[in-house]
């Protein structure tokens, strides 16, 4: 490793100390050089004569530069904006030194010409040091003029960076190296920073945003607050929603830890910040015990939840993770993310292409890979598609779940976790019916201590011994997942980018929402809490009005809603009507009975499923009705009390408590 690499890898505190030492040396040498050029005396005589000046002036300048925050900026971010800080720091240091000499007079006095020359030399030397160091260490350009910076501000879209901390300064440096976005100001709530210049930009209080928008009509705001809590971020977003300004964000602290801020890392505001959900820290002891050193299978491993389960599981170092999916592209994508990005480490990863309906193959996979835990996330989940493809939905969601569960029993798998949905509660559509039947099937299997070969679908092995059920079955039910494949948020963003209209089924429709990482994390923790045969419900918070969510996304894109009262708005919202089988609101509990667990966001639902023999007959009858296309007979079977099917010609009345996630606004209103 060469010297340059060693310097780059040094801790930031060491690099700051080295930079301050280099500055001190340059200031001392500069003062000696100015005196020598002015008087021509030997250097030793100059130092001895004006020793107080050599002791006071450079140190005063260093203290002033430290107070101005110069040493929190490393060399790669140095540019013309640093010249302003250096000029102020040297000037303040010089004035402080002169004030000290005024209070404690020394003889002889420094010549005034030397002081002026040293002021110029000090600024030039310190600035040159940073330019040269930045060029050598990071390849930063040696020349950076005020004119070029002004040109970038004229040509690029003006942005105000909310947050003048380390992430904000790094973002400004990255933007200055580019050309598409031109930083023009900082916004910050810290009164100690307001009015100061940081990285060449003045720091304004947030209340000054309207005035900045008048000066820069196309202004957008970039949030650089990776360490702020979700509640604080939501407060800031609510404040910014008052103005017709586009708002974007830099990644979280966890993502920033993987690399410094880049311009291409700027993204739309996280919808979780809009909703203001505060994530609960995971119970590490729970996760460690149920994951570390185990062999784990995730079905639907290429999907939103399955892929996130894999990412979360890998953090706790299992022995092996097997991802199974019927989609080649989904497996290819998750393979690239986990393997090429190096997230797997020394965990053995397998990517298997196949169907959960192939029970013999699934059983063989479990045996060959010595699977101990199964997370079953494979399912068809889109309500309108399953509504018109009911036989396929039943086979994949119900029979597929049974195939994997029976294979797990035969293979002696220790833990089986079914990922379910709130649409299974008093289902109003056939997708919800299939998920409810999958829940009932797993709960019924969990109650049985042993199975005959026939009960497990092994008629061809009628002479085989009874299979002991050693598998601990767990179900986890939650609502919609933000930004999952096919969810409403990506569709809204795409419609806004195209200029609208944004389509909402009904102005009063509400849904529960949770982030993908939070949902996966809670699924893993629920499994660790399970005693066997448990149905866990995740606390989703209050439901959210989809219409208000759409309006907030429009406003945070810097646009306004176009409607009858505001025909000059940018984006129209079109109500398309409730789709077949869709409810106005969803529910999480069948009998409204649940008990708390040791985790504040996980509750144990209390439900009594039918016996396995009764349910098996019902499943066969439902499948026969679907195959025959007999809707009347199907409706009679789905009227079973355990299913609770309520076909949605109309819609459920929305719950009493609804969180209004935004006020309807448009230009002039």
How far, in Å, CA of 655 to CA of 652, rounded? 9
Helix (H, G, I), strand (E, B) or coil at 574: strand
299-303, 306-310, 639-643: range with lowest mean pLDDT? 639-643
Q: What are the residue ranges spanned by the domains of the chain?
A: 3-138, 146-269, 291-481+514-540+586-638
- Residue 591 has a pLDDT of 58
Is the pLDDT reported for residue 260 higher than 80? no
The answer to whether 651 and 582 have CB atoms below 8 angstroms apart is: yes
Burial of 643: CB neighbours in 10 Å, binned 0-12, 13-18, 19+: buried
What own/partner pairs with CB < 8 Å and gap ≥ 24 does 197-202 have?
Answer: 197/81, 197/84, 197/85, 198/69, 198/164, 198/168, 198/169, 199/73, 199/77, 199/81, 199/169, 199/172, 199/173, 200/79, 200/80, 200/81, 200/82, 200/84, 200/149, 200/172, 201/81, 201/161, 201/172
Q: What are phi and psi of 457, to 5 degrees?
A: 75, 30
Q: How far is CA 487 from its chain centroid?
A: 16
Is the pLDDT reported for residue 151 higher than 70? no
Cis peptide before 108 (omega within 30 of 0): yes
- Confidence band of 559 (pLDDT split at 50, 70, 90): confident
Q: Which two tokens stand for residue 372?
A: 């101990």
How far, in Å, CA of 80 to CA of 16, rounded? 20
Give the range with max mean pLDDT: 249-263, 304-318, 361-375, 638-652: 361-375
Written as one string, the DSSP assignment of 10-46 is S-HHHHHHHHHHHHHHHHHHHHHHHHHHHH---HHHH
Written as one string, the DSSP assignment of 37-91 is HHH---HHHHHHHTHHHHHHHHHHHHHHHHHTTGGGS-GGG-SHHHHHHHHHHHH
How far, in Å, CA of 545 to CA of 550, rounded? 9
pLDDT top residue among 190 and 253: 190
pLDDT, average across residues 356-377: 96
**Strand 157-162 relative to strand 320-325: parallel, antiparallel, unpaired?**
unpaired
pLDDT in tens, 415-447: 999 999 888 888 888 999 999 999 999 999 998
Is the pLDDT reported for residue 135 higher than 80? no
- Residue 145 has a pLDDT of 42
Is the pLDDT reported for residue 220 higher than 50? yes
Helix (H, G, I), strand (E, B) or coil at 188: coil
* Helix (H) / strand (E) containing 192: none
38-47, 179-188, 271-280, 378-387: range with lowest mean pLDDT? 271-280
Cβ contacts of residue 581 below 8 Å, gap of 6+?
A: 383, 384, 387, 428, 429, 430, 431, 432, 647, 648
Residue entry with tokens 């107070």: 67
Q: How far is CA 470 from CA 78, 110, 369, in A?
A: 64, 90, 18
* Helix (H) / strand (E) containing 246: strand 246-249
DSSP 8-state secondary structure symbol assigned to residue 422 = G
Q: How many CB atoms lie within 10 A of CB 376?
A: 25
- Residue 664 has a pLDDT of 38
- Residue 8 has a pLDDT of 64
User: For the domain 146-269, what is the CATH code?
Assistant: 3.40.50.720
Is the pLDDT reported for residue 540 higher than 50? yes
pLDDT in tens, 19-55: 889 999 999 999 999 989 888 888 888 888 888 889 8
Helix (H, G, I), strand (E, B) or coil at 295: strand
- Residue 476 has a pLDDT of 92
- Confidence band of 366 (pLDDT split at 50, 70, 90): very high
How far, in Å, CA of 120 to CA of 31, rounded? 11
- Residue 65 has a pLDDT of 85
Burial of 319: CB neighbours in 10 Å, binned 0-12, 13-18, 19+: middle
Q: Which two tokens stand for residue 49?
A: 């004569």
Residue entry with tokens 């309500």: 383
Q: What are phi and psi of 533, to 5 degrees?
A: 75, 20
| 291-481+514-540+586-638 is classed CATH 3.40.50.720 | yes
Q: Which two tokens stand for residue 456?
A: 């497990």
- Residue 658 has a pLDDT of 44
Q: How crowded is the C-beta side of 211, counted as CA atoms within 13 Å?
A: 7
Q: Which two tokens stand for residue 484?
A: 């999952």
- Residue 368 has a pLDDT of 96
- Confidence band of 149 (pLDDT split at 50, 70, 90): very low
Residue entry with tokens 């077949």: 580
- Residue 657 has a pLDDT of 42
Count of all residues that appear for the chain in the document:
669
- Residue 146 has a pLDDT of 42
- Closest to 583 measured CA to CA, from 619, 543, 538: 543
- Residue 216 has a pLDDT of 86
Q: Which two tokens stand for residue 458?
A: 């092994």
- Residue 629 has a pLDDT of 87
The answer to whether 556 and 237 have CB atoms below 8 angstroms apart is: yes
- Residue 140 has a pLDDT of 47
pLDDT in tens, 479-525: 877 766 667 888 888 898 888 899 998 888 888 788 888 888 889 98
pLDDT in tens, 160-212: 999 988 778 878 877 776 667 888 899 999 888 888 877 778 889 999 999 99
* Helix (H) / strand (E) containing 450: strand 450-451
Instruction: Give the pTM.
Output: 0.67
Q: Which two tokens stand for residue 378?
A: 């494979």
Q: Which two tokens stand for residue 26?
A: 């340059």
Cβ contacts of residue 273 below 8 Å, gap of 6+?
A: 230, 233, 234, 237, 249
- Closest to 387 measured CA to CA, from 430, 425, 436: 430
Is the pLDDT reported for residue 74 higher than 50? no
Burial of 547: CB neighbours in 10 Å, binned 0-12, 13-18, 19+: buried
Helix (H, G, I), strand (E, B) or coil at 571: strand
Q: Which two tokens stand for residue 4?
A: 């340059």
Q: Do domains 146-269 and 291-481+514-540+586-638 have the same CATH topology?
A: yes
How far, in Å, CA of 431 to CA of 192, rounded? 56
H helix intervals, 247-283: 253-256, 271-275
The answer to whether 98 and 23 have CB atoms below 8 angstroms apart is: no
Q: Terminal CA-to-CA distance of the chain, rounded, Å?
A: 62
pLDDT, average across residues 90-104: 84
Give the range with max mean pLDDT: 133-147, 191-205, 287-301, 361-375: 361-375
- Residue 666 has a pLDDT of 38
* Helix (H) / strand (E) containing 240: helix 230-240
Q: Which two tokens stand for residue 399?
A: 């029979």
Q: How far is CA 514 from CA 277, 299, 519, 521, 541, in A?
A: 8, 21, 6, 11, 9
144-148, 264-268, 384-388, 394-398: range with lowest mean pLDDT? 144-148
Residue entry with tokens 């894999």: 310
How far, in Å, CA of 342 to CA of 311, rounded? 11
pLDDT in tens, 601-618: 888 888 888 888 899 899
The answer to whether 76 and 130 have CB atoms below 8 angstroms apart is: no
- Residue 656 has a pLDDT of 40
Mean pLDDT in the chain? 81
135-139, 451-455, 462-466, 546-550: range with lowest mean pLDDT? 135-139
**% of the chain beyond a pLDDT of 70:** 82
Is the pLDDT reported for residue 529 higher than 50? yes
């Amino acid at each position: 490793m060469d010297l340059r690499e060693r310097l780059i890898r040094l801790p930031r505190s060491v690099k700051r100390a080295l930079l301050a030492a280099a500055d001190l040396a340059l200031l001392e040498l500069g003062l000696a050089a100015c005196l020598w050029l002015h008087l021509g005396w030997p250097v030793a005589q100059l130092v001895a004569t004006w020793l107080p000046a050599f002791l006071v002036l450079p140190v005063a300048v260093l203290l002033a530069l430290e107070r101005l925050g110069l040493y929190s900026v490393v060399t790669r971010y140095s540019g013309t904006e640093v010249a302003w800080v250096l000029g102020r720091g040297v000037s303040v240091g010089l004035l402080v030194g002169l004030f000290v000499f005024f209070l404690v007079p020394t003889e002889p006095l420094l010549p005034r010409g030397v002081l002026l020359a040293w002021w110029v030399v000090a600024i030039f030397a310190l600035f040159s040091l940073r330019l040269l160091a930045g060029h050598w260490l990071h390849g930063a350009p040696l020349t950076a003029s005020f004119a070029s910076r002004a040109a970038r501000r004229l040509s690029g879209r003006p942005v105000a960076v909310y947050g003048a901390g380390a992430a904000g300064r790094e973002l400004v440096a990255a933007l200055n190296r580019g050309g598409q976005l031109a930083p023009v100001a900082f916004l910050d709530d810290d009164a100690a920073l307001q009015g100061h210049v940081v990285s060449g930009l003045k720091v304004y209080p947030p209340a000054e945003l309207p005035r900045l928008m008048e000066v820069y009509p196309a202004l957008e705001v970039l949030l650089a607050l990776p360490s702020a809590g979700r509640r604080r971020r939501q407060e800031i977003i609510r404040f910014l929603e008052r103005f017709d300004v586009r708002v974007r964000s830099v990644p979280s602290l966890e993502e920033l830890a993987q690399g410094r801020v880049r311009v291409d890392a700027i993204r739309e505001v996280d919808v979780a910040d809009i909703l203001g959900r505060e994530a609960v820290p995971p119970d590490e002891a729970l996760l460690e015990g149920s994951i570390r050193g185990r062999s784990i299978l995730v079905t639907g491993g290429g999907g939103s939840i399955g892929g996130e389960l894999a990412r979360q599981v890998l953090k706790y170092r299992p022995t092996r993770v097997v991802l199974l999916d019927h989609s080649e592209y989904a497996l290819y994508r998750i393979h690239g993310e986990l393997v090429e990005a190096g997230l797997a480490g020394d965990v053995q990863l397998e990517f298997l292409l196949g169907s959960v309906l192939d029970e013999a193959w699934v059983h063989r996979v479990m045996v060959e890979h010595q699977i101990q835990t199964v997370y079953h996330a494979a399912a068809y989940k889109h309500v309108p598609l399953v509504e018109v493809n009911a036989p396929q939905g039943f086979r994949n969601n119900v029979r597929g779940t049974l195939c994997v569960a029976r294979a797990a029993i035969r293979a002696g798998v220790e833990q089986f976790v079914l990922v379910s949905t709130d649409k299974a509660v008093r289902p109003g559509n056939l997708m919800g019916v299939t998920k409810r039947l999958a829940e009932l099937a797993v709960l019924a299997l969990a109650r049985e201590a042993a199975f005959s070969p026939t009960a497990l679908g092994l008629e061809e092995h009628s002479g085989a011994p009874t299979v002991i059920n050693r598998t601990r079955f767990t179900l986890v039910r939650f609502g919609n997942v933000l930004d999952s494949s096919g969810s409403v948020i990506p569709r809204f963003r795409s419609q806004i980018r195209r200029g609208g209209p944004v389509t909402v089924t009904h102005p009063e429709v509400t849904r529960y929402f949770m982030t993908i990482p939070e949902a996966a994390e809670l699924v893993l923790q629920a499994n660790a809490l399970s005693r066997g045969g448990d149905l866990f419900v995740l606390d989703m918070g209050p439901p959210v009005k989809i219409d208000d969510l759409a309006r907030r996304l429009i406003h945070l894109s810097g646009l306004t809603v176009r409607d009858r009262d505001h025909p000059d708005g940018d984006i129209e919202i079109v109500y398309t009507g409730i789709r077949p089988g869709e409810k106005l609101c969803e529910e999480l509990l069948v009998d409204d009975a649940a008990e708390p667990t040791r985790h504040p966001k996980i509750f144990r639902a209390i439900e009594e499923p039918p016996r396995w023999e009764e349910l098996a007959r019902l499943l066969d009858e439902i499948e026969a009705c679907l195959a025959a296309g007999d809707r009347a007979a199907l409706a009679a079977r789905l009227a079973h009390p355990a299913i609770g099917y309520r076909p949605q010609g109309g819609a459920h009345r929305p719950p009493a408590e609804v969180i209004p996630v935004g006020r309807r606004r448009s230009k002039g209103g």
